[in-house]
Amino acid sequence: MTRYLLLLMLTACAHNDSWDRTDTGLYSAYAVAAIADGYTTTQIQYHDVEEKNPIARTLLGSNPSTADTWQLTTSMMLCNYLIARSLPSTWRKRYLATWAIGHGIATVNNCNHGLC
């Protein structure tokens, strides 16, 4: 099922709006925030805290390993690039900004728990 959705996104639904400098900047901001979130998440195993985010907790468990965290982070970065690329320009910018802000907030929360 996932393959068919990906194929649909990459072919039939792919938009012809070109990727511009703003898109590159937003994706870069998202990538930096996702990597920072991934790094701080890997630090959970070395401190007396548990993963609180319900999505991350479901995917990674309450005490995520380094390998699992980086695998999820890189997979999400690739998937979000493909999704963003298939969206029209206006929606692409909103989508990438939302993900960048979300990972930025997660990083700040992790830092507040001493994981930086």
Q: With 70 as the cut, is the pLDDT of residue 31 above it?
A: yes
- The residue whose two tokens read 């979000």 is 80
Pairwise CA distance, residues 19 & 94, whole Å: 14
Question: What pLDDT score was predicted for residue 15?
Answer: 63
DSSP H or E stretch at residue 45: none
Q: With 90 as the cut, is the pLDDT of residue 6 above it?
A: no
How confident is the prediction for the chain on average, in pLDDT? 89
Joined together, the tokens standing for residue 74 give: 């890189």
Measured over the CA atoms of residue 56, residue 57, residue 61 and residue 65, the dihedral's sign is positive
Polymer length in residues for the chain = 116
Q: With 70 as the cut, is the pLDDT of residue 113 above it?
A: yes
C-beta of residue 15 within 8 angstroms of C-beta of residue 86: yes
